[in-house]
Amino acid sequence: MDMDWQADLDRWLAPFVAALRHRTRARMCPAYIAGLIGPGDRKSVQPMAARAGEVSYDQLHHFVAAGVWDSAPLEAALLKEADGLVGDEAGFLVIDDTALPKKGCHSVGVAPQYASSLGKTANCQSLVSVTLASREVPVMVGLRLFLPESWTDDPERMARAGVPKDRQIPLTKPEIAIEEIDRVIASGARFGCVLADSGYGSSGPFRQALSERGLLWAVGLSRRQNVYPADVALIFPVAKTGTPRKYHIPDQPPVSAEALLAGEKWQRVSWRRGTKGRLTCLFAARRVRVADGHKHRMLDNRMQCMPGDEVWLVGERRSTGEQKYYVSNLPADASLKMLAATIKARWVCEQAHQQLKEELGLDHFEGRSWIGLHRHALMTMIAYAFLQSRRLKAAGRKKKSRRTAATTEHAGNQASHPRPLRTASTQAMPPL
């Protein structure tokens, strides 16, 4: 990174500094973010303050962990900047979670829980993440801590960690995600489709909440989830004996997502070019109705969920032998390639998680409080948005200079070489 980034940062942070409305905090915010971006492996408060020299540890620590200020105006400014960078009616809002490994038991929300980034259960904090993305460029706009039962069942423990009263309630990750999606919608940020893995997509209430908001979505699904073929009909069976039935029932039983797609035609689909060539996998898709409607007692006395709305069920077979399943309310005329490209667009958030941790110290915060963790996470997201803005500018300049060079060459050679001008391909954007 060239050395004029700090001057750029000061200019770029103007809306955030204005939102703070306080002279000292207006100094601390840029200092904190510069500390996250600047050199040094450790991005916790003490080493950042030592490297900065201009602000003390006490000042920086007070700003992030104890100062009385509201994060909401900065969160709103971040959403506005993110929308300017990647907001697009054809873009995506990606819901996921990321784990911050922790030792001990005092840091807010820490507990043994599954960490997808580690692929196992570990002692960690788990944050629901929200990423706005388009053209394979992610900008993270939300990180909210999930509190496990061992915390929500212990009011004293929550009070010690400074969990606000209105957050001292059990909320599932899908419920936290819907709150965040509502915040993004209210901001006016543009996106076309919500993406999430099966940790969220397997929740019927989550999918229904997205549909109620008029959103398109493509989410992971458990292979065991029961589904009906789209042509399932509701019949009104006449019982030979006993009380007449009051409700219709499906004319065929549901089967698992895995079983329904097993006999389908699987096709090799390429959805985009990666660093090592075209990305391809085997996919199959079928219109279905997920068994997530209201429950009825069947003739054999078992409970069965009724068919829901008609949606796409998509299966993916990877070269490793692993199989994944997804469900989406994209239009009925969507092609298999469109379904695959939409589903796979979710992976852009993994890049954001990795860079927030490896380059900006998301997992380096050493405080224990709710407010400190969320403010540190907000500062890392603002720093990441700034770096993405520089990256997009640099890519735009390269694209423009290539166009200019190609046009000049074409004009000089047109008389002697009357062949069509080849369009210069867009290169991958430079790393952060």
Residue type, 139: V
Return the axis-axis angle of helices 23-37 and 5-12, rounded to nearest 10°.
140
Q: What is the pLDDT of residue 103?
A: 87
Q: What is the pLDDT of residue 228?
A: 86
Region 263-285: mean pLDDT is 88
Percent of the chain clearing pLDDT 90 (strictly above): 63
Q: Distances from the Cα of 275 to the Cαs of 258, 338, 427, 428, 429, in angstroms?
A: 31, 21, 11, 9, 12
| Three-state DSSP state, 7 | helix
Q: Does residue 95 contact residue 200 with C-beta atoms inside 8 Å?
A: yes
Close Cβ partners of 196 (under 8 Å, ≥ 6 residues apart): 94, 95, 96, 177, 206, 217, 219, 220, 346
Residue 15: burial class (beta carbons within 10 Å; 0-12, 13-18, 19+): middle
Structure tokens at 420: 């069509």
Task: Give just the sign of the alpha carbon dihedral 230, 234, 240, 245.
Answer: positive
Alpha-helix residue ranges (DSSP H) falling in 234-290 = 257-262
Among 130-139, 204-213, 250-259, 327-336, the least confident range: 250-259
Residue type, 50: A
| Three-state DSSP state, 339 | helix
**Does residue 431 surpass a pLDDT of 60?**
no
Phi, psi of 365 (to 5 degrees): -65, 135
SS3 letters across 78-92: HHHHHHHHHCCCCCE
| Three-state DSSP state, 207 | helix
Q: What is the pLDDT of residue 4?
A: 78
Structure tokens at 107: 């840091």
Q: What is the pLDDT of residue 296?
A: 57
Q: What is the pLDDT of residue 424?
A: 28
Long-range contact set of residues 243-248: C-beta below 8 Å, sequence gap at least 24: 247/296
Residue with tokens 């867009």: 426
Q: What is the pLDDT of residue 313?
A: 97
| pTM, rounded to two decimals | 0.87
Q: What is the pLDDT of residue 299?
A: 55
Interatomic CA distance for residues 297 and 255, integer angstroms: 17
Q: What is the pLDDT of residue 116?
A: 75
Long-range contact set of residues 248-253: C-beta below 8 Å, sequence gap at least 24: 249/296, 249/298, 249/304, 249/306, 250/304, 250/306, 250/307, 252/228, 253/304
Q: What is the pLDDT of residue 238?
A: 61
Q: What is the pLDDT of residue 255?
A: 85
Q: Does residue 279 contact residue 257 with C-beta atoms inside 8 Å?
A: no
With residues binned 3-state (H G I as helix, E B as strand, rest as coil), the percentages for the chain, rounded to 5, are: 40, 25, 35
C-alpha 400: how far from chain center: 31
Q: 370-424 pLDDT, tens per residue?
A: 999 999 999 999 999 999 999 999 887 666 666 655 544 444 443 333 332 222 2
| Three-state DSSP state, 115 | strand
Among 54-58, 201-205, 257-261, 395-399, the least confident range: 395-399
Structure tokens at 128: 């629901």
Structure tokens at 71: 């994060």
Q: What is the pLDDT of residue 400?
A: 62
Q: Does residue 177 contact residue 196 with C-beta atoms inside 8 Å?
A: yes
Q: What is the pLDDT of residue 425?
A: 30
Q: 152-186 pLDDT, tens per residue?
A: 999 999 999 999 999 999 999 999 999 999 999 99
Domain segments of the chain as ranges: 5-213+349-392, 222-334
Interatomic CA distance for residues 62 and 49, integer angstroms: 12
Percent of the chain clearing pLDDT 70 (strictly above): 84
Q: What is the DSSP letter of 383?
A: H
SS3 letters across 390-426: HHHHHHHHHHHHHHHHHHHHHHHHCCCCCCCCCCCCC
Interatomic CA distance for residues 145 and 125, integer angstroms: 7
Q: What is the DSSP letter of 429?
A: P
Q: 62-73 pLDDT, tens per residue?
A: 999 988 899 999
Q: What is the pLDDT of residue 252?
A: 77
**Does residue 349 surpass a pLDDT of 50?**
yes
Long-range contact set of residues 36-41: C-beta below 8 Å, sequence gap at least 24: 36/360, 36/361, 36/379, 36/380, 36/383, 37/5, 37/9, 37/360, 37/383, 37/386, 37/387
Residue with tokens 């469109």: 338
Region 218-226: mean pLDDT is 95
Q: 138-151 pLDDT, tens per residue?
A: 999 999 999 999 99
Q: What is the pLDDT of residue 385?
A: 97
| Higher pLDDT pick, 315 / 289 | 315
Helix (H) / strand (E) element for 296: namely: strand 295-297
Mean per-residue pLDDT over the chain, rounded:
86
Taking residue 253's Cβ as centre, other Cβ atoms within 10 Å add up to 11
